[in-house]
Amino acid sequence: MHIGLRIFFGFFLIVGLAAFLTLRVFVQEVKPGVRQAMEDTLVDTAHVLAVLAADDMKNGRIANGSFARRLARLRGDKVDANVWGMHKNAVGYRIYITDQRGIVRFDSGEAAVGADYSRWNDVYRTLRGEYGARSTRSNPEDDASTVMHVAAPIRDGDKTIGVLTVAKPNVTMAPFIERSQRKILQSGLLLMGGAFVIGLVCTLWLVHGLRRLQRYARAVAAGERAEMPLRGASELAELGRSVESMRLRLEDKQYVEHYIHTLTHEMKSPLAAISGAAELLQEDMPAADRNRFVANIRRQAQRLEEMIRKLLALAALEQRQSLETHEPVALVPLIGQLLQELEPRARQRGLALRLLPPAQPAPMVKGDRFLLHQALSNLLENALDFAPEASVVEIAVERRGDPADTIALRITDHGPGIPDYALPRLFERFYSLPRPGGQDKSTGLGLCFVREIATLHHGEVALANRAEGGACATLTLPAA
């Protein structure tokens, strides 16, 4: 199961279970709570009525005295009350009075006069000086027909001369219980809905962070430049910083090992040439040969110097995760400056550098002007090395895409082109092809340098052969 679903279901299960148990306790406590409140009211009512009935009970006229007449009038009176949204239209009490033997002498319902209630708990316990109460079904087969009975003693001084019981059906409290339970359930559903939304938001936030961290880890594993995407003081951001720190340490170690290996390998050839020439110079030889060997030593030393310089520049570039400078760069003036710098070199070989009319409006990119200058310089120098004498190297600046959101710089020559076997390896570090006319190979670092600059600018560089002959280098950059 996806980690997001596991986190969400785990969160919702915990909150939902807690809410369910809480609601269940509340719902279960509503009914007994209401009945306890009703019993407390019945206790007060029974004791008040017992005091009012005491005189008629002592005088033996409880069945037809003033107390009985007043209760009879009460039965005929209409009740019109709105109790917290519940309409009440009748008195729900039943009142009966028993003598010292438990025989019913008065019943507001007129159904049990003369009956023996001495064994009922309300009468039995009250006659013995205890708290008397009971809850009995009026219909033995119906759970909802229970009636609560609460009794109070009728006293003559300290002597108990009878028992007054107030009875009220529990069903009269059912609407209040149902309404309370309904409100609790509604609140519970709102709580569950809120927990669902909060859980979903928290899960999406957490999964979003994890996915960004996952994409970062994949990009690093693929050797791409990637910036740690999480910021702040959260645990995920701290985890991301720890991963980035570990990556940098591992990369630094691998980077140093790789560079030491490649550098020592590439330095073998010029060092061997310098060593061989130095040994030969120790012998007597004609001045022309001596000058030739000295020139060879100088060339190899220059090659080593250039290799080390470019390698250091490339190493510094590869350690960057992003550009330090973001500024608008006009490409046409930049190319014009480069053409002026390279014109003496081109003239020495009888080459012409030509800038084709650029697209309008003037193409602009956003980035580091110095690095873009270095990239274009490497591509142009590469074209000058392979272009045949008396030929033209052309530079074109085009807009691409719809809308035109990409700038493409094309540098074309009319040289021999690129051998098929070399096309996949052109951007490998230290890979270089022999130059025409017996010139020494380059350091093999220029195109690597260009690729790193293009990547930092979120662009691409490619080399390909032209159908009409020669090669074409294309540097593609996002338009400003």
- Please list the pLDDT of the chain residue by residue as tens digits (480 residues): 566 566 666 766 777 777 777 666 666 676 777 788 888 989 999 999 999 999 999 998 988 888 988 888 777 667 666 666 666 666 778 899 999 999 999 998 778 889 999 999 999 999 999 999 998 887 888 877 788 999 999 998 889 999 999 999 887 777 777 777 777 778 777 877 777 777 777 777 777 777 877 777 777 666 666 666 666 666 667 776 777 776 666 555 555 555 565 556 556 666 766 777 777 777 777 888 778 777 777 877 776 776 666 666 656 666 666 676 778 888 888 888 888 888 888 888 888 888 888 766 678 888 888 888 888 888 888 888 888 888 888 999 888 876 668 888 999 998 888 888 888 888 887 777 877 665 656 667 778 778 888 888 888 989 999 888 889 999 998 887
Q: CB–CB of 429/377 below 8 Å?
A: no
pLDDT at 279: 76
> Does any domain span residue 202?
no
Q: Are residues 165 and 263 in the same domain?
A: no
pLDDT at 224: 65
End-to-end alpha-carbon separation of the chain, Å? 44
Q: Are residues 450 and 471 in the same domain?
A: yes
Say how many C-beta atoms besides its own lie within 10 A of residue 458's C-beta: 14
- Determine the Cα–Cα distance for residues 320 and 339; give it in Å rounded to an integer: 28
Helix (H, G, I), strand (E, B) or coil at 281: helix
Can you tell me which residue has the tokens 């205890």? 130
- Determine the Cα–Cα distance for residues 410 and 413; give it in Å rounded to an integer: 10
- What is the residue type of 422? A
Domain boundary among the residues 178, 209, 232 is at 178
> Does any domain span residue 11?
yes
| Torsion sign, CA atoms 15, 17, 19, 21 | negative
> Does any domain span residue 332?
yes
pLDDT at 98: 94
Say how many C-beta atoms besides its own lie within 10 A of residue 374's C-beta: 17
> Does any domain span residue 19?
yes
> Does any domain span residue 224?
no
As given in the structure block, the two tokens for residue 234 are: 């959260």
> Does any domain span residue 304?
yes
Q: Are residues 294 and 370 in the same domain?
A: no
Can you tell me which residue has the tokens 């029974």? 46
Cα distances from 208 to residues 47, 196, 227, 239, in angstroms, run 68, 18, 16, 14
Q: Are residues 294 and 340 in the same domain?
A: no
Q: Domain range holding 359?
A: 327-478
Domains: count for the chain: 3
> Does any domain span residue 156?
yes
Q: Are residues 28 and 83 in the same domain?
A: yes
- 173-191 CB burial, b ≥16 within 10 A, e <16: beebbeebbeebeeebeeb
Q: Are residues 337 and 306 in the same domain?
A: no
Q: Are residues 346 and 458 in the same domain?
A: yes
Q: Are residues 16 and 165 in the same domain?
A: yes
pLDDT at 130: 93
Q: CB–CB of 450/378 below 8 Å?
A: yes
